[in-house]
Structure 1
Amino acid sequence: MSNEDNLYPPVEPIAAGIKGRCPRCGQGNLFNGYLKVAKRCEVCELDNSFADSGDGPVVFVLLLDGFIVTALALWAEVSYQLPLWLHFIIWIPLAIILGLVMTRWMKGILITLQYKHKASSGQLDKRGHE
């Protein structure tokens, strides 16, 4: 941890990620727009160039969203035998909205955890091991 990091109180990464707040100060916005990560925090000037959540949040959200919506649709079909058009009206918008909300949350959580644990991209060791 650098001396600059000692100036800021500890930030709970899950709460900061869900709220879309800076992983260092917990005050500034992590996102510039809905899913685009801001270049730096407007409060503490943290450079967010380290932030690379990759496809992790999207994959996790797709699996979770698909499970939730499919389970609810199957339950509704077995319990109420809804017509097909009603299934479309209910489940397609729910899947889209749930996916967008959870993607922002998961991206924020993964970035704040990445900052907390000082995670970075893997690098090959250039030294020769014989």
Structure 2
Amino acid sequence: MLNQTENTKGQPDVLPAALFGLCPHCGQKTLFANVIKFSDKCRSCGLDFSQYNVGDGPAAFLTLIVGAIILGLALAVEANFHPPFWLHILLWVPLTVSAVVGSLRVSKGILLILEHRNQAREGSIDKRDGE
């Protein structure tokens, strides 16, 4: 059995692959079609990315985490510096959007890569005779 920390030939490690959008099979930059949408398949090796079901599970979870961090930072800035309201909007809106989109891209990439490496498939119930 292959150890999860081992890297097989041509396959990048999980975190760099997710950060740079590398194909989990060949390592080429073909995982994403745009910022957070997966390509249908790898343009290099032909791996079909549509067979993996990552879903949008990480979206709500990451939004809550990033929102809590941004809220803490905004409150700290307000308590220490008292900037005008427009400066808060100018600072926190783009930072929040970029943090959510960036973390969503990485988390979706990690989930797809791990699904590929572990050969995860939809579960099924084995029906045995007499049950």
TM over 0.5: yes
CA distance in 2, matches of 1:118, 1:126: 18
The count of aligned residue pairs is 124
CA distance in 1, matches of 2:63, 2:93: 13
Query: Which residue does 1:70 correspond to in 2?
Result: 71
Contact residue 65 and residue 98 of structure 1 kept, 8 A:
yes
Instruction: Flag structure 1 segments of 5+ consecutive residues without an equivalent.
Output: 2-6
CA distance in 1, matches of 2:74, 2:14: 33
Query: Which residue does 1:27 correspond to in 2?
Result: 28
Residue pairs, 1:1-130, within 5 angstroms: 8-123=9-124, 125=125, 127=127, 130=131
Deviation at 1:50, TM superposition (A): 2.2
Contact residue 13 and residue 116 of structure 1 kept, 8 A:
no
Deviation per residue, 1:44-75 (Å, 9 max, x gap): 11111222211222123212211221111011
Deviation per residue, 1:31-56 (Å, 9 max, x gap): 11222211211111111122221122
Alpha-carbon RMSD across the aligned residues, in angstroms, is 2.2
Q: Which amino acid aligns with 2:15?
A: I
Q: What TM-score do the two structures reach when normalised by structure 2?
A: 0.81
CA distance in 2, matches of 1:17, 1:113: 10
Instruction: Flag structure 2 segments of 5+ consecutive residues without an equivalent.
Output: 2-7
